[in-house]
Structures are given as C-alpha cells and as structure tokens.
C-alpha cells in the first residue's frame, strides 16, 4: 500500500514537471533570440538617443558604488530581465501599471490608490549615516531595495534613476517610461529660461522673421541678465538714469530680481524697492562690476498693472507635461490654479506679500501673523487665498466687468495664447533637450494677466507643488496625476506593441535564414527600429475620454498642425 502511494506521488510530480516544462517552453518560446534582440535594442537606442557623443547634457558620471538616496541597488542585468519578463507577460504593460514614488504627498497617494506600488516602503533618505564612510576608495551603500522587473512607470520626485544608474542597463529600459529629463534645468532655472528666450529671439531675427512673429514668440517680460556683461551695463545705466527715478516716483517698483538655478517657492525674489535698489547698486558698484560678478541673477520688468481680484493681485498656474522628446509632444491641463497675494495690492507698497503671490510666502506670512489658517491642514479653508481651479470663473468675472465680450474668450484667446507661449518656450530649448522617448517631465508655468489682458510667463518650474490643503484641491490633483499616468501609459503601450512586432519579425528572419543577429539586422530593419522608437499614439491606443490634458504640440503632425496652427508658416 505504501509503495503504491509513493508511485502515485512520483507520477503526479512527473506530470507537474512535464506540464511546467511545456508551459515554460510555450511562454518563453525563442527566449534566447528575444533576449539577444532586447539586449541589442537597449544598447543601440541608449547610445543613439540618450547619450550620443554630441549630447553633453546627457553624459553620465556613473560610479558603481556611489550612494543614491532612494537606497535602490543598481543591477547591471536589470533591463535585460525586466524587458524579457514584459515581452512574455504583456498584461504587465497593456493592462496594469507598476510604479513607485519616494516622496510623500498627494501624487504618491494618487499612485497608490490607483496603481500597483512596486516598492511601497520606499522613502527618500537625505543622508545615509549608516554607510557614509569610505572603504577601498568606494562608498559602501546599504541598499534596501531593487527595482522590480514589472516596473513600467517610475514616477519619482528626484531624478536619480537618470544620474545614479546606468541607463539602458540598470534603469530606463526599453519597456519603461520615466517622468524626468536630464536637461530639464534648461527650462526651469530662471537664468536659463531668460537666456534661452533671448537666444531664441535672436535666432528668429537672423532668419528674417517679421516683428509680428517676434512679438508672438516673446513669452517673458523684458529681462536683463546680470551675469551677461552687456545686459548688466544696460541695466545699471538705466537704473542710474533720471528716467528710471521719475518712473519709480510715478509708478512704483519697475523691476524684480530673481536668482537662477533651483531656487523656487518665492526664495530669491526681491522687489526693487529703494533700499533693495541701493543695495544692488552697491553690490555691482553701480555697474562697474558688470562682467566681473557672474552671480546667476536676472532683473525682470515688474508688471505694475496686474489683474486684481477683491483688490489683491492674482496669478495663475498652468500645469503641463512634456510627454515625450522623441518627437516633442506636450500637453497642458485644462484646470488651473488661480492664486492671489495675501496682502492688498498697492504698487507703492513696500510689502513683498502684496507683490509676490507664492504659496510659500503665504504660509510664512500666516505663520508670522499667528493666523488660525494652517496651510498644511487638509481641512483648512483657503478660499480667500485660492480662487478656483477653473479659468471659467475668471472668464465670468471679466464678462461681468465688461473687459471682454466673447463668451468663448478662454477657448478663442487665453488658451491659444498660453499654449503658444509654452510652444515657444519648448522651441527655445529644443536643441538642448535629450531626444529619447523614454523620457518625460512634469512642469508648471506661472502666468500673470495684466489689467489690459496681456499675458506673460513669469517662470517655469519642474516638480511643481501639488498640495492637498482642501479636499477639493486634493481631488483635483489626484485626477491630474491619473491623467498624467494615462498619457504615459498610452505612449508606452503603443511603443510596446510596435516593438513586439519588430522583435517577432527579427526572430522569424533569424530562424529562417539561420543567421546570427548581427547578420540579420539590415539597414531597413534599423530604420524600422528608429521609426518604432518615436512616440506616437497608434496600434488602436488613445487617451481616456475624460482625460483633462489638451494637446499643445506634437511633432508627428505636418507643418503648422504640430503647433495646433498657433504659429504661422512665416514664423517657422
């Protein structure tokens, strides 16, 4: 009896082993060839697009043992394993979304509530005190995590998967889409934004573009780059003139100064009141230090006639995403944060809070006043500080005031103007952006609307704040995060289907001709690979119907259509 039981058990085990062998063989059919092709693709595409020799902005300085504050251990064979897994398990990409985020906040909450969090215990560790010592001239890192093979859309706050990992091997695999660019600073650093605007306008003038096109391409107020000798001298010559002194007396402050680099949330902004002006003049010795002092400081024309709401200056923020850089594709969000300065507006006021409508300044002011309104409290009533998420409210206000008559002013004027400015901002840096379809970036552009309805971009930020100070705002930011993920998924899924077809085609060719991969790859196949790597929505993939992002720019389209006909042919 006992012997029969043993025989039965052995028989069952044998059948299970045979079944598992057959299942594995079927699922991983041609695994060796597919692995070779995926390894080649990651290497070829990374070399060609992410880090070509001419692209100095994307050059990686990579140390195998260097510390990364997300405490993830880089694995050199990660992309090979991850892409193989996804190739044979299409549901990972086509149905599910696997992500993670190290920074706490509404975006991480939204990701966890709607998608699979691959590393739920992930956090950001500023200083690795446990392993911050050197052994054999290399950092020892006590890594706590590895990147899961299923990971499709890493959505980190910091861009360490670019700068601390070997792209194409340890991160940013073929079947992944990342939410950061290595060259995002060309738009977000204030000195770069101003500098690139001026170079862009100069390039248009050199091409003989007319003044109407120049005006439409100018997206920031008059700005002097104090780190540039000629600009600096012109600025201080004007500052020392009687014309400037008369303007100050009649109209109040004429300029604000801003620090370049990664200085946001109101830090580094100074309104040039008399005391601040004198201090700046003394620092630059009334212009004599121009060309000597290379501080990344810019002086920007102060908009002295802003749109007011209940006697307070207001600004509005447009959230937008660079969905791809190969080709350039951008979307802007239909709902907008309108915010007002905490102090009543008076152009002669020496109170910074009347001139700068920044959330961080509002919080600091409330704290100083010992206000009962806690901006970090999810139940706080901030209706006095943030008007509405919808620009429809602004349109209604302008209609009531008689400043506009067009009931479709938003659609016919404001949105096209904003979108055109975003397009020109992108075009001003397109030669500096890494052209790779694995990359994307989340931005916010801060605009100001004047009393006579002129629009200016004040600055552009990446990783913009997404606060949850009220349930309504938390709901809006959650929806925006979901819509961003929908965009990333759509382009990743389209690319996945394109490459699956190409890989199967190459495998069939290798089998039929009985040749190794390097002898199978023809110029025509390489051309097909390059074309498939360009982001586009095809293969029956589209955005969800309730996605609130609107297309702003798509270089897949022909002629002026790629700019939604917002730029005339003569201006290109």
pLDDT at 262: 56
Find the mean pLDDT for residues 171-183. Answer: 96
Q: Establish if 444 belongs to a structural domain.
A: yes
pLDDT average, residue stretch 187-194: 88
CA distance 169 to 183: 20
**Band of residue 54 on the pLDDT scale cut at 50, 70, 90:** very low
pLDDT of residue 387: 56
Query: Residues 212, 226: one domain?
Result: no
User: Could you tell me if 213 and 226 lie in one domain?
Assistant: no
pLDDT cut 70: percent of the chain above it:
82
497 and 289 in contact (C-beta within 8 Å)?
no
57-66, 158-167, 179-188, 263-272: lowest mean pLDDT where?
57-66
pLDDT of 203 over the 50 cut: yes
Asked if residue 98 is part of any domain, the answer here is: yes
Tell me what pLDDT residue 330 has: 98
Same domain for 38 and 161, yes or no, is yes
User: Is 379's pLDDT higher than 60?
Assistant: no
| Statement to judge: residues 314 and 438 lie in one domain | yes
249 and 291 belong to one structural domain: yes
Q: Residue 564: which of 423, 386, 358, 356 has the closest Cα?
A: 423
Q: Are residues 354 and 211 in the same domain?
A: yes
Do 499 and 461 reside in the same domain of the chain?
no
Nearest-Å Rg of the Cα atoms of the chain is: 28
pLDDT in tens, 209-255: 999 999 999 988 999 999 999 999 999 999 989 999 999 989 989 99
CA gap 497, 94 in Å, rounded: 9
Q: Is residue 435 part of a domain?
A: yes
pTM: 0.87
Residue 92 is assigned to a structural domain of this protein: yes
User: Is position 553 within any domain?
Assistant: no
State the average pLDDT for the chain: 85
310 plus 399 within the same structural domain = yes
Range of the domain at 93: 26-51+67-125+142-176+476-541
Asked whether residue 17 is domain-assigned, the answer is: no
367 pLDDT band (50/70/90 cuts)?
low
- What is the domain-level CATH number for residue 456? 3.30.470
Kindly state whether residues 537 and 563 are assigned to the same domain.
no
pLDDT grade, residue 265 (50/70/90)?
A: very low
In this prediction, residue 501 carries a pLDDT of 97
Are 439 and 181 contacting, i.e. CB atoms less than 8 angstroms apart? Answer: yes
Q: Is pLDDT of 1 > 80? A: no
Alpha carbons 84 and 42: distance in angstroms, whole number: 12
Shared-domain flag, residues 215 and 344 = yes
- First and final CA of the chain: distance in angstroms? 88
> Torsion-angle region of residue 135: left (phi > 0), alpha (psi -120 to 50) or beta?
beta
Q: Domains in the chain: how many in total? A: 3
The per-residue pLDDT for range 11-47, each reduced to its tens digit, is: 666 665 655 554 544 568 899 999 999 999 999 999 9
Please check whether residues 416 and 512 belong to one and the same domain: no
Q: Tens digits of per-residue pLDDT, 418-445?
A: 999 999 999 999 999 999 999 999 999 9
Q: Does one domain contain both 257 and 391? A: no
Please report whether residue 439 resides in a domain.
yes
What was the pLDDT predicted at 500?
97
Mean pLDDT for the stretch of residues 91-120: 95
- The answer to whether position 14 is within a domain reads no
Per-residue pLDDT at 9 exceeds 80: no
């Amino acid at each position: 009896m006992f012997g029969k039981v043993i025989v039965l058990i052995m028989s069952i085990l044998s059948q299970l082993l045979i079944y598992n062998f057959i299942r594995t063989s079927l699922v991983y059919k041609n695994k060796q060839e597919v692995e070779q092709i995926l390894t080649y693709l990651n290497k070829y595409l990374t070399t060609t697009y992410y880090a070509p020799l001419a692209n100095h902005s994307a050059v990686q300085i990579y140390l195998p043992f260097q510390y990364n504050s997300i405490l993830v251990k880089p694995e050199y064979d990660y992309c090979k394993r991850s892409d193989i897994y996804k190739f044979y398990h299409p549901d990972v990409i086509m149905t599910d979304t696997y992500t993670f985020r190290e920074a706490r906040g509404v975006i991480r909450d939204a990701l966890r509530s709607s998608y699979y969090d691959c590393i739920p215990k992930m956090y950001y560790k500023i200083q690795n005190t446990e392993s911050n010592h050197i052994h054999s001239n290399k950092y020892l890192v006590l890594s706590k995590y590895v990147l899961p093979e299923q990971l499709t859309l890493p959505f980190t706050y910091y861009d360490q998967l670019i700068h601390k990992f070997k792209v194409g091997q340890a991160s940013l695999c073929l079947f992944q889409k990342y939410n950061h660019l290595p060259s995002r600073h060309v738009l977000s650093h204030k000195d770069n934004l101003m500098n690139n605007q001026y170079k862009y306008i100069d390039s248009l003038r050199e091409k003989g573009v007319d003044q109407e096109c120049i005006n439409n391409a100018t997206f920031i107020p008059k700005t002097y780059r104090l780190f540039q000798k000629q600009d600096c001298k012109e600025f201080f010559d004007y500052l020392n003139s009687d014309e400037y002194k008369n303007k100050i007396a009649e109209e109040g402050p004429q300029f604000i100064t801003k620090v370049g680099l990664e200085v946001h949330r109101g830090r580094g902004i100074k309104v040039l009141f008399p005391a601040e002006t004198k201090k700046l003049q003394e620092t630059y010795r009334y212009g004599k230090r121009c060309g000597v002092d290379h501080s990344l400081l810019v002086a920007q024309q102060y908009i002295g006639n802003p749109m007011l709401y209940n006697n307070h200056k207001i600004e509005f923020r447009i959230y937008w995403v660079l969905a791809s850089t190969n080709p350039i594709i951008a979307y802007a969000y239909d709902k907008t944060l309108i915010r007002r300065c905490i102090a009543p507006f008076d152009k002669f006021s020496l109170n910074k809070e009347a001139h700068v409508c920044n959330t961080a300044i509002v919080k600091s002011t409330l704290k100083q006043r010992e206000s009962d309104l806690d901006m970090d409290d999810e139940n706080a009533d901030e209706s006095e500080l943030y008007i509405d998420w919808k620009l429809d409210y602004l349109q209604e206000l302008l209609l009531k005031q008689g400043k506009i008559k067009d009931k479709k002013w938003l659609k016919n004027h404001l949105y096209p103007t904003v979108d055109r400015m975003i397009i020109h901002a992108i075009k001003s840096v397109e030669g500096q952006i890494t052209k790779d379809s694995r990359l994307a970036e989340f931005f916010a552009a801060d605009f100001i609307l004047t009393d006579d309805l002129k629009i200016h971009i004040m600055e552009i930020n990446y990783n913009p704040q997404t606060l949850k100070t009220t349930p309504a705002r938390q709901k809006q930011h959650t929806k925006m995060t979901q819509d961003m993920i929908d965009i990333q998924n759509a382009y990743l899924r389209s690319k996945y289907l394109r490459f699956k077809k190409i890989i199967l085609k190459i495998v069939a060719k290798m089998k039929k001709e009985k040749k190794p991969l390097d002898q199978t790859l023809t110029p025509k196949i390489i051309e097909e690979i390059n074309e498939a790597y360009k982001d586009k929505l095809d293969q029956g993939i589209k955005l969800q119907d309730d996605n609130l992002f609107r297309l702003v720019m798509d270089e897949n389209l022909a002629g002026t259509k790629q700019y939604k006909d917002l730029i005339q042919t003569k201006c290109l």
